[in-house]
Amino acid sequence: MTGRQTIIPFGPQHPVLPEPIHLDLVVEDERVVSAIPSIGYVHRGLESLVDRREYQDFVFLAERICGICSFTHSSTFCQGIEGLMGIQIPQRAAYLRTMWGEYSRLHSHLLWLGLFADSLGFESLFYQAWKIRESILDEMEATTGGRVIQGVCKVGGVRRDVANSFLSGMDDRLDEIEDNMKDLTNVFLNDYTLKKRLVGKGVLSKDDAYYLGAAGPTARGSGLDMDIRSTGYLAYGDVGFKPVVEKGGDGYARCAVRCRELFQSVEIIRRVITDMPEGDVFTPVKGNPDGEYFSRSEQPRGEVIHYLKGNGTKNLAQFRVRTPTLTNIPPLVSILAGCELADVPQIVLTIDPCIGCMER
């Protein structure tokens, strides 16, 4: 080792990054000594628009915090307003929200698996993952009308109902999707080359994950049993949810958590379809929100918190979002220190960064 340090800029425009984030990598020879992140390339200032948009219209903006977790953001925001106003949404709406939430998790995890394969230079696997993702998007489009931005959530329930005959037809298509996913995840979990690149790389210990505030699959990959779905919001209490936890703490464990969650999501969707209650899909909403509320739910990337403060008018007084990617940045910086330069792209991707969410 020469002891001479060089700084290599990584991003904001980089082949493995679909979104801009910038890292200054301090390297000694081929080893990364430390990584200094700088963010703000996607900051739009969306939260400030609450004083110009009425709370019912803001659902559309909340959905556009991020195009990947769009459904979860809109349902979390609606959940917050409903909490403020004491609205009980119909059971069928809660079940439909659960179903769409899990479909968006499926599409997000498949998207991530594809991008991850791409970051490892495994182009054909990237294409396979995205091919399966298209069949998930077809289900989304058939039930909501939108591929990535659905616009289906509203305060008091959901905007569209799904016919029972369509729901019962979903089962067969889920079987096919599940078969395809089995083939796909088999490669991710058992391929010799991929294992070589993932096992033991970017290790985040359980204690570090806890103290640095990791969330979602990043935390669960390090053995932390943290999943907001365990609190049983929406229909998760009825489906008997148990979080997926891996102990390894390395890139392989984080990948394994997401692979296993794919099948878990399919199971949840199956349960939700079978137990789907009859009835309305929304309750009429009157009045304006007042008071404070923390709305929490589990995004594909971890726990998202929407803080809402109403003042009895149509516009909220304040709106803040805390997204999982932001809390996953300190763990990322900690695992980058000491890694090989060539592993940086794949380690950055193992936390599944979603910069659109993070900066709003």
Query: Looking at 1, 2, 3, 45, which residue binds another protein (CB under 8 A)?
Result: 45
State how far Cα 292 lies from the chain centre. Answer: 25
Footprint on residues 47-76 left by another protein (CB under 8 A): 48-49, 52, 60-61, 64-68, 70
Q: For every residue of the chain, which 3-state class applies, written as one string? A: CCCCEEEEEECCCCCCCCCCCEEEEEEECCEEEEEEEECCCCCCCHHHHHHCCCHHHHHHHHHCCCCCCHHHHHHHHHHHHHHHHCCCCCHHHHHHHHHHHHHHHHHHHHHHHHHHHHHCCCHHHHHHHHHHHHHHHHHHHHHHCCCCCCCCEECCEECCCCCHHHHHHHHHHHHHHHHHHHHHHHHHHHCHHHHHHHCCCCCCCHHHHHHCCCCCHHHHCCCCCCCHHHHCCCCCCCCCCCCCCCCCCCHHHHHHHHHHHHHHHHHHHHHHHHCCCCCCCECCCCCCCEEEEEEEEEECCEEEEEEEEEECCCCEEEEEEECHHHHHHHHHHHHHCCCEHHHHHHHHHHCCCCHHHHHC
Q: Which of 26, 33, 149, 189 binds another protein (CB under 8 A)?
A: 149
Q: Is 356 in the site for another protein (CB under 8 A)?
A: yes
Stretch that binds another protein, among 226-234, 246-254, 281-289, 349-357 (CB under 8 A): 349-357
Tell whether residue 77 is a contact of another protein (CB under 8 A). no
Among positions 184-223, residues that touch another protein (CB under 8 A) are none
Site for another protein in 11-30 (CB under 8 A): 12-16, 18-20
Residues numbered 128 to 147 that lie near another protein (CB under 8 A) are 130-131, 133-134, 137, 147
Instruction: Choose which of 44, 182, 247, 320 interacts with another protein (CB under 8 A).
Output: 44
42 versus 189: smaller Cβ distance to another protein? 42
Task: Candidates 127, 166, 211, 294: give the one binding another protein (CB under 8 A).
Answer: 127
> Closer to another protein at the Cβ: 114 or 202?
114
Considering only 170-178, 240-248, 262-270, 348-356, which stretch makes contact with another protein by CB under 8 A? Answer: 348-356
Binding flag, residue 126, another protein (CB under 8 A): yes
Which of 129, 166, 133 lies closest to 148, judged by CA?
133
Identify which of residues 25 and 68 has a Cβ nearer to another protein in the complex.
Answer: 68
Applying CB under 8 A, among 24, 28, 34, 42 the residue interacting with another protein is 42
| Smaller CB separation from another protein, 5 or 48 | 48
Cβ neighbours, 10 Å, residue 163: 9
Residue 344 as a binder of another protein (CB under 8 A): the answer is no
Residues 6+ apart with CB under 8 A from 225: 243, 245
**Binders of another protein in range 284-323 (CB under 8 A):** none
- Count of residues that interact with another protein, criterion CB under 8 A: 42
Does position 263 interact with another protein (CB under 8 A)? The reply is no
Q: Which stretch binds another protein (CB under 8 A): 40-48, 84-92, 215-223, 325-333?
A: 40-48
User: Which residues here bind another protein, judged by CB under 8 A?
Assistant: 12-16, 18-20, 40-46, 48-49, 52, 60-61, 64-68, 70, 111, 114, 126-127, 130-131, 133-134, 137, 147-149, 354-357
